[in-house]
Amino acid sequence: LAAFDGCPLKATATNLVFSDGNPDAGLMLVGEGPGAEEDRAGLPFVGPSGQFLDRMLASIGLDRTKYLITNLIPWRPPGNRNPTDNEVLVCLPFLLRHIALVRPRRLVLLGALATRGVTGTNTGITRMRGRWLDAAIPGLERPVPALPMLHPAYLLRTPGAKRDAWADLVLLRRTLDADVKKS
Ligand code: URA
């Protein structure tokens, strides 16, 4: 990915933002793309929405360093604009390959863009969130269970949506606990 010159965002970004955390964790969280602080640090989710994500995970007793965190787009779109369809199209194969190499047991998809990219579904995030669905990942023989959730940046702007986010976090925690019991 660092050697890839096919995405114009690379030219304006300071750093490649690839991933953070533990690739052996079994749980991989996928966000949208770096903001200003992520671009400076070269790490995903270290700015305000990252700090909020940390608090969301902490609220169900999870520590972000134990999981793998990445993004759909690995370079910051200038001025935090949304990535274009073309930028998503060009970067998506790298994310899908990343998932196939990591082979997570479960995925959490943060926000509409990550959900659309990984599931290939155009249904809005408010209708997709709140339940596990099967994400077919090229190169993996079995679909990966994926939980779409509202993006932390959206939750910071829309406090009324935190109730839905809490329901999703509880579902995530219960599912992880049930996985541990089964194994
Ligand atoms: N928002 C994202 O989706 N990803 C980041 O890494 C930071 C903010």
Asked whether residue 183 carries a pLDDT value surpassing 90, the answer given is: no
pLDDT digits 0-9 by tens, 57-87 = 999 999 999 999 999 999 999 999 999 999 9
Of all residues in the chain, the percent with pLDDT exceeding 90 is 99
| Ligand 1 pocket, residue 83 CB under 6 Å | no
Average predicted confidence (pLDDT) for the chain: 97
What b-and-e string marks burial along 155-168, b requiring 16 or more CB atoms within 10 Å of the CB?
beeeeebeebbeeb
Ligand 1, atom nearest to 43 Cα: 6
pLDDT at 166: 98
pLDDT at 167: 98
Q: What is the token pair recorded at 1?
A: 């990915």
Residue 182 Cα, ligand 1 centroid: separation in angstroms? 32
Q: What is the token pair recorded at 123?
A: 């249904």
